[in-house]
């Protein structure tokens, strides 16, 4: 066991049938939340076959069962998405943090090309215990945010972009080389990991 946190089932590498079997097994354990991540349409159908009341967020490709978000404890997890295209991954982070028991907020479209937008959120930014920053293309937003807040920043590179973005590698490298301290990075498009880590950081004392 992960010592109290929800279990997560990574669906991408599994057949719907394998996912269905896991969902069935899980149906006897309503005391612990189970998350099904990277679930396509067919994976979702397989989960819902065994757990009809599971909560499903198709954009985030996430299902949760039991479906109720637990009451929140600890500090605020703030999730920023640089652009609309980063939304699916950002949403996965936001939902994960909430199912791990944190209060979480999601703010979209605050890319560095329009600084006034992120500067307009300064109070919210500074009220967070941890900030997850999702960005693709140049991946510059976490550096800017880390310069504005005292809280740790979880940088979440996305595969949004084309050409020399190399499926998120450019954003990943930008974030690893952030010239502002207080930034660490998770895998490309790993919204689940970012949300999980943020929830751990924002745990109540």
Ligand X SMILES: Nc1ncnc2c1ncn2[C@@H]1O[C@H](COP(=O)(O)O)[C@@H](O)[C@H]1O
Q: Which residues make up the interface to Mg ion (CB under 5 A)?
A: 146, 182
Separation of alpha carbons 67 and 174, rounded Å: 36
Cβ 148 to Mg ion, closest distance in Å?
A: 7
Tell me which residues in 7-46 interact with a copy of itself (CB under 8 A): 8, 10, 12-14, 18, 38
Phi then psi for residue 108, to 5 deg, are -115, 155
Tell me which residues in 15-54 interact with ligand X (CB under 6 A): 37-38
Q: Tokens 């999730």, residue? A: 79
Residue 72 region by backbone torsions, left for phi larger than 0, else alpha for psi between -120 and 50, else beta = beta
- Which listed residue (43, 60, 114, 128) binds a copy of itself by CB under 8 A? 114
- Which listed residue (63, 111, 124, 134) binds a copy of itself by CB under 8 A? 111
17-40 burial by CB neighbour count: b if 16+ within 10 A, else e? eebbebbeebeeeeeebbbbbbbe
Cβ 182 to ligand X, closest distance in Å?
A: 9
In the complex, the residues that contact ligand X under the rule CB under 6 A are 8-10, 37-38, 83-85, 113, 179-181, 190, 192-193
């Amino acid at each position: 066991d992960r010592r109290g946190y929800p279990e997560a089932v990574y669906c991408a590498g599994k057949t719907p049938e394998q996912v269905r079997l896991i969902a069935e097994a899980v149906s006897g354990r309503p005391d612990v939340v189970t998350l099904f991540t990277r679930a396509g349409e067919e994976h979702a159908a397989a989960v819902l076959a065994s757990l009809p009341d599971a909560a499903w967020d198709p954009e985030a490709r996430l299902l949760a069962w039991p479906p109720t978000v637990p009451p929140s404890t600890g500090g605020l997890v703030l999730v920023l998405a640089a652009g609309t295209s980063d939304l699916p991954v950002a949403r996965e982070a936001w939902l994960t943090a909430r199912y791990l028991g944190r209060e979480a907020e999601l703010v979209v479209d605050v890319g560095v090309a329009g600084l006034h937008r992120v500067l307009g959120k300064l109070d919210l930014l500074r009220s967070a215990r941890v900030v997850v920053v999702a960005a693709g293309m140049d991946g510059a937003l976490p550096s800017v945010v880390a310069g504005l807040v005292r809280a740790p920043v979880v940088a979440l590179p996305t595969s949004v972009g084309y050409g020399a973005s190399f499926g998120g590698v450019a954003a990943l490298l930008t974030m690893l080389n952030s010239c502002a301290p207080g930034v660490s990075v998770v895998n490309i498009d790993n919204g689940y990991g970012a949300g999980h880590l943020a929830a751990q950081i924002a745990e109540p004392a």
